[in-house]
Amino acid sequence: MLELPYTSNIHGNAVRWGKMGDGPPLVAVHGTPFSSQVWRRIVPHIMDRRTVYYFDLVGYGLSEMREGQDVSVGVQNKVLAALFEEWGLTRPDVLAHDFGGATVLRAYYLDGLRYGSLTIFDAVALAPWGSPLVQHVRKHTAAFAEMPEYMHKAMLRAYLQTAAHNELSEEALEIYSAPWLGPVGQPAFYRQIAQMDQAYTDEIEPLYRPLDCPVSILWGACDEWIPPEKGETLAQSLSGQACQLISEAGHLVQEDRPEAIVAAVLRQISDHVR
């Protein structure tokens, strides 16, 4: 497990974060419904070359969860920009997944953040997006939030499994389920779904053009949440290069093929030494 010993107050939210390693900075941004623990099998393999900063998005993981909280994609880029300032970062390497992809792209195009390089995979970035479960829950948020805990836990574990191509270990299921259980976590899970709004990616999609840094885009070839075709389109928009498909991997590549992410990051930072 990655440790998150630090807490920062960002726009009224307690954000938990940690850092490991030596060398130039690299920031890792997770997606939904996960936490920074998705990087626990990645960070140890790159921390000898980079100081890796990781954090739990507002409303996720160990970061603060509360009723009435804005946990939308629309706030996450502002939180990222504030963390960059707090950490004193200007052009770190960046690694992003799922909603983390939308977060770093919004921060780039709307908030003026700049990166040394960007490695992005299975990103929420192009319309339409949102799984059938997400669409259904958004119509009946209150009913789901008050569901008996045993039913919620069973549904949550089943939903998490659909993110992976291979069977998730019991350890992984426990790690990703834990923040969303109990009287605080369960309503927080449905809160973040209720606030999933395609408008936040529609806002930046017309702005997509090649970034002013090296960009690598990867995609799980078996992703059932966001089809690989989205990766191909995104890669052409942001880099003009091909999207790298990862065989035997679904949406949650960090569990299916962590070595592919490690290899992509090491290749990226080795090719563009600063």
Tens of pLDDT, residues 8-38: 999 999 999 999 999 999 999 999 999 999 9
So what's the pLDDT on residue 274?
52
pLDDT average, residue stretch 139-147: 81
Amino acid (one-letter) located at 145: A
So what's the pLDDT on residue 245?
98
- Residue 73 CA to residue 37 CA, distance in Å, equals 19
pLDDT tier for residue 136 given thresholds of 50, 70 and 90: confident
- Residue 109 CA to residue 8 CA, distance in Å, equals 24
Number of H helices, E strands in the chain: 11, 8
Q: 32: closest CA among 261, 194, 258?
A: 194
- Residue 44 CA to residue 50 CA, distance in Å, equals 10
pLDDT average, residue stretch 189-213: 95
Handedness of CA 104, 107, 109, 113 (dihedral sign): negative
pLDDT average, residue stretch 259-273: 88
DSSP 69: -
pLDDT tier for residue 112 given thresholds of 50, 70 and 90: very high
So what's the pLDDT on residue 271?
67
DSSP 166: S
What percent of the chain lies above the pLDDT cut of 90? 90
pLDDT tier for residue 145 given thresholds of 50, 70 and 90: confident
pLDDT tier for residue 140 given thresholds of 50, 70 and 90: confident
Q: What's the pTM value of the predicted model, to 2 decimals?
A: 0.96
Question: Has residue 130 got a pLDDT over 80?
Answer: no
Q: Tokens at residue 182, please?
A: 């109990």
- Residue 137 CA to residue 139 CA, distance in Å, equals 5
Q: How do residues 218-244 score in pLDDT, each as one tens digit?
A: 999 999 999 999 999 999 999 999 999
Q: Which of 7-11, 70-74, 144-148, 228-232 has the lowest mean pLDDT?
A: 144-148
Q: Which residues pair with residue 217 across a beta bridge?
A: 120
Instruction: Give whole-number Cα distances, 223 to 121, 123, 245, 264, in Å.
Output: 11, 11, 10, 18
Q: 216: closest CA among 122, 114, 75?
A: 122
Q: Which of 135-149, 162-176, 224-238, 255-269 has the lowest mean pLDDT?
A: 135-149
Average pLDDT over the chain, rounded to an integer? 95
Question: Has residue 139 got a pLDDT over 90?
Answer: no
**Please, what is the angle between helix 149-161 and helix 182-194, to 10°?**
50
pLDDT average, residue stretch 45-66: 98
pLDDT tier for residue 146 given thresholds of 50, 70 and 90: confident
Instruction: Give whole-number Cα distances, 96 to 7, 79, 101, in Å.
Output: 21, 15, 5
DSSP 167: P
What's the chain's length in residues? 274
